[in-house]
């Protein structure tokens, strides 16, 4: 599903010519460009994470960062939307820290509602915990945030850096709530950096999009049918 995945397979002795790369790209008919129709008087600063909620996704790091920033950023809110085996632990954590006004955890919502919530967010947060599994992840949520023109703060991994450089993503070190908090505060205080991240990350969509990728998929199917 991406080049580092291919490289790993070839490293184990598989011939590269047997593979076709097909990135798991968002449907741009659904995750189209962001429409800036938010009220100019918006007083909150909204972070969002959506998708699987498990320990490897590092969401306790995001919660700790919000805890550290709740007095520094007026109207700071983190929305966690999804399902998984870490929801109850995270919910208990938010209650124990008494930050229910700043962290909202919801189960999955209908797609149209989800897209609307992403569009209204200021920053997407992807705090993966780096390990032998997550280092090969190219999160679909990241590609959806980029498609919807939402700036992203993300754990630095080799796979993600293959497609997104420092001008496209605000990176932080795995497991560091302090670095994540610093990056959130930095983006809050620097809207120009947020705009630059969006503009630069959007270059990804010009190179990697389903309109182009589907031709590779069709060619693969045609080649199999010919045999």
pLDDT of residue 39: 54
Per-residue pLDDT at 164 exceeds 90: yes
Alpha helix (H) residue ranges in 80-176: 87-97, 111-120, 140-147, 158-163
Q: What is the mean pLDDT of residues 186-213?
A: 94
- The tally of CA atoms less than 13 A away on the side-chain side of residue 180 is 30
pLDDT above 90 covers a percentage of the chain that reads 84
Q: What is the mean pLDDT of residues 14-37?
A: 83
Dihedral over Cα of 33, 37, 38, 41: its sign: positive
Q: What is the mean pLDDT of residues 178-183?
A: 98
pTM across the whole model:
0.92
Chain mean pLDDT for the chain? 93
Look at the block and give the residue holding tokens 């309109």: 211
Q: Which contiguous run of DSSP H or E holds residue 7?
A: helix 3-11
Q: Which contiguous run of DSSP H or E holds residue 216?
A: helix 210-226
* Residue (of 200, 132, 134, 152) closest to 47 by Cα position: 152
Q: How confident is the model at residue 212 (pLDDT cuts 50, 70, 90)?
A: confident
pLDDT of residue 38: 53
Q: Tell me the pLDDT tens digit for each residue of 95-134.
A: 999 999 999 999 888 988 999 999 999 999 999 999 999 9
Per-residue pLDDT at 227 exceeds 80: no
Look at the block and give the residue holding tokens 């011939």: 15
Q: Tell me the pLDDT tens digit for each residue of 26-85.
A: 988 888 765 555 555 678 999 999 999 999 999 999 999 999 999 999 999 999 999 999
pLDDT of residue 85: 95
pLDDT of residue 187: 98
pLDDT above 70 covers a percentage of the chain that reads 96
What residues contact residue 86 under an 8 Å CB cut-off, 6+ apart? 53, 54, 55, 57, 59
* Residue (of 37, 47, 42) closest to 69 by Cα position: 47
pLDDT of residue 226: 81
Burial 134-146 (b: 16+ CB within 10 A, else e): bbebbbbbbbbbb
pLDDT of residue 108: 85
Task: Tell me the C-alpha distance between 120 and 123, whole Å.
Answer: 9
């Amino acid at each position: 599903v991406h080049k580092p995945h291919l490289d790993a397979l070839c490293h184990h002795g598989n011939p590269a010519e047997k593979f076709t790369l097909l990135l798991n790209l968002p449907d741009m008919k659904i995750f189209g460009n962001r429409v800036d129709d938010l009220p100019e008087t918006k007083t909150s600063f909204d972070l969002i994470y959506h998708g699987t909620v498990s320990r490897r996704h590092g969401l306790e790091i995001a919660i700790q960062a919000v805890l550290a920033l709740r007095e520094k950023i007026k109207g700071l809110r983190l929305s966690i939307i999804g399902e998984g085996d870490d929801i109850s632990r995270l919910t208990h954590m938010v209650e124990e820290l008494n930050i229910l006004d700043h962290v909202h955890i919801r189960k999955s919502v209908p797609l149209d509602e989800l897209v609307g919530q992403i569009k209204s967010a200021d920053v997407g947060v992807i705090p993966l915990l780096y390990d032998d599994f997550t280092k090969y992840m190219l999160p679909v949520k990241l590609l959806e945030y980029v498609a919807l023109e939402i700036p992203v703060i993300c754990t630095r991994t080799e796979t993600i850096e293959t497609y997104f450089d420092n001008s496209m993503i605000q990176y932080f070190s795995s497991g560091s709530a302090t670095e994540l908090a610093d990056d959130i505060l930095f983006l809050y205080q620097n809207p120009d950096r947020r705009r630059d991240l969006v503009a630069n990350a959007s270059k990804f969509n010009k190179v990697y999009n389903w309109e182009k990728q589907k031709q590779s998929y069709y060619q693969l199917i045609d080649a199999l049918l010919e045999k």
